[in-house]
Amino acid sequence: MALPSVVIAGRPNVGKSTLFNRLAGRRRAIVEARPGVTRDALETVVEWGGRRFRLLDTGGLMPPGEDELQPLVHERAVAAVRAAAVVVFLVDARDGLTPVDQAIADELRRLGRPVVLAANKAESDRARAASAEFYALGFGEPLPVSAEHGLGIDDLLDAVVERLPPGGAPEAEGDGEEPVRIAIVGRPNVGKSSLVNRLLNEDRQIVADLPGTTRDAVDLEWRAYGKTYVLIDTAGIRRRSRIDSAVEFYSVRRAEKAIARCDVALLVVDATEGVTEQDQRIAGIIAQHGRAAAVLLNKWDAVDARALPADAAAAAAREALPALHYAPVVTISARTGQRVGRLAALVDKVAAAHAFRLSTPDLNRFLQDAQIFRQPPAVHGRPLKIFYGTQVGTRPPQFLLFVNDPDHVHFSYERYLENRLREAYDLEGTPVVWKYRARERQPAESLFGARRD
């Protein structure tokens, strides 16, 4: 059963993102002392008093202004409120009641959802006393809170839980496994948010032909074919030299952190432009963190497939992205949905490869067969001897080989072992890490059991 949603709503700069971070228990939303910083609806799961719910931070129900995206922000916020089980209406105890608060209250009444009224920034006795004027909004007693200092948060959560519909107790995942976390990354304006909307089959993320539309790394629950995933829609990663504001700087940092905390990274590339230098840099970040990955050539509907067949485009992308040599490349169109329906199976495949584990006996049989087929080359006149190996980690798979001399491992033979391992166990989509350790010579301890003088 899907968890009920709780939406934080209110005018700009009343502390919605600060409250979201406080309730989420970690710094998830970008906070800056100016309006309009949050655009998409951020999401996380909160548990309180034996209940679990999805918490959403909206971009605010503010009237149209100079920001050309504001109508879209308002539309998404209204949609989130309409689907919410409870709305936390946040006002500013320091500023007092404003006409915008009144307008938002009228809209909330029109939408007809249960409302918990919270007066933020009520650290002082004066501010707490002044919060009484918010009774005029017609939502009962305003709860004085301070999102920044954590005051009154327990009372607020109690009030939210009281208004949740019956049910929604903590659920155990069917097999006890955490859902696969998927980071959707790429340059600005390559179609990341359009892809998220297509996967979710709803307009959850704001889409516009403007770089920088998405600012936060947004976690969204995605259910497909009976399984649950977490999508992380990230801000586009630009070159450092083109980052000209604090908000964009932190957006890029969040995108890089999203890669660090994901299981699978989907690198979205604009197929009409091909792989760029910035795409290569992002691929390097994914590889640096050892993440499972796939490359999505988006906007394929705008490419003349007769002039550039899909196989040729995929081959060119692989050649241009050597850091992700292990990643499958697929052509998609987020706009039309072309091949998007295959992404869940693709994610499952590369995630399984990322978590691959091979028993020590099976690994050593593999190493023995590989050496029979192709002997290690000699380095400085001395051949490499692999005594035995063991797997020492997963996500990505990591193997430790005990050899006579690690300096004798030639990169071409390591590549041979990796390619043979990938073919034997279908490890497309995950990096493979090899480590080596010198082992003193002892009789009868090679893979072949032969004594050495």
Judge if 253 and 396 occupy the same domain: no
Q: Which of 354, 388, 416 is the last residue of a domain?
A: 354
At residue 17, the pLDDT reads: 83
CATH number of the domain encompassing residue 410 = 3.30.300.20
Judge if 426 and 303 occupy the same domain: no
Inside any domain, residue 68: yes
Strand 329-331 and strand 51-57: pairing?
unpaired
Judge if 153 and 278 occupy the same domain: no
Inside any domain, residue 171: no
Inside any domain, residue 96: yes
Least Cα distance to 406 among 360, 365, 381, 437 occurs for: 437
> Domain of 76?
5-163
Judge if 378 and 348 occupy the same domain: no
At residue 161, the pLDDT reads: 92
At residue 451, the pLDDT reads: 42
At residue 74, the pLDDT reads: 67
Judge if 316 and 212 occupy the same domain: yes
Inside any domain, residue 44: yes
Judge if 154 and 186 occupy the same domain: no
Judge if 266 and 334 occupy the same domain: yes
Judge if 203 and 319 occupy the same domain: yes
Segments in 374-442 forming alpha helices (H): 411-425
Inside any domain, residue 403: yes
At residue 62, the pLDDT reads: 56
Helix (H) or strand (E) holding 389: strand 386-393
Inside any domain, residue 341: yes
Q: Which of 117, 135, 163 is the last residue of a domain?
A: 163
Inside any domain, residue 394: yes
Quote the crossing angle between the two packed helices 153-163 and 16-24, to the nearest 10°: 80
Per-residue pLDDT of the chain (453 residues; tens, 9 = 90+): 568 889 998 888 888 888 988 887 754 443 334 344 344 457 778 888 888 888 888 755 655 544 444 555 567 678 778 888 999 999 999 999 999 999 899 989 988 889 999 999 999 888 888 888 999 999 998 999 999 888 999 999 999 999 998 764 444 333 446 789 999 998 888 888 889 889 988 644 433 343 343 334 567 788 898 888 988 877 545 554 544 444 444 445 666 777 888 899 999 999 999 999 889 989 999 999 999 999 999 999 999 988 899 999 999 999 999 999 999 999 999 999 999 999 999 999 999 999 999 999 999 999 999 999 999 888 777 888 899 999 989 999 999 999 988 888 888 999 999 999 999 999 999 999 999 998 765 444 445 444 444
At residue 31, the pLDDT reads: 38
Residues 266, 349: Cα–Cα separation, whole Å: 13
Look at the chain and report how many structural domains it folds into.
3
Q: Which of 333, 354, 375 is the last residue of a domain?
A: 354
**Tokens representing 142?**
């305003």
Judge if 157 and 297 occupy the same domain: no
Q: In the block, which residue shows the tokens 């893979």? A: 447
Residues 238, 194: Cα–Cα separation, whole Å: 19
Judge if 381 and 348 occupy the same domain: no
DSSP states of 270-334: ETTT---HHHHHHHHHHHHTT-EEEEEEE-GGGS-TTTS-HHHHHHHHHHH-GGGTTS-EEE-BT
Judge if 250 and 135 occupy the same domain: no
DSSP states of 35-104: TT---S-EEEEEEETTEEEEEEE-S--PPP-S-TTHHHHHHHHHHHHHT-SEEEEEEETTT---HHHHHH
Inside any domain, residue 45: yes
Residues 441, 385: Cα–Cα separation, whole Å: 10
Q: Specify the pTM.
A: 0.60
Angle subtended at Cα 451 by Cα 446 and Cα 453, rounded to the nearest 5 degrees: 115
Judge if 13 and 129 occupy the same domain: yes
CATH number of the domain encompassing residue 302 = 3.40.50.300
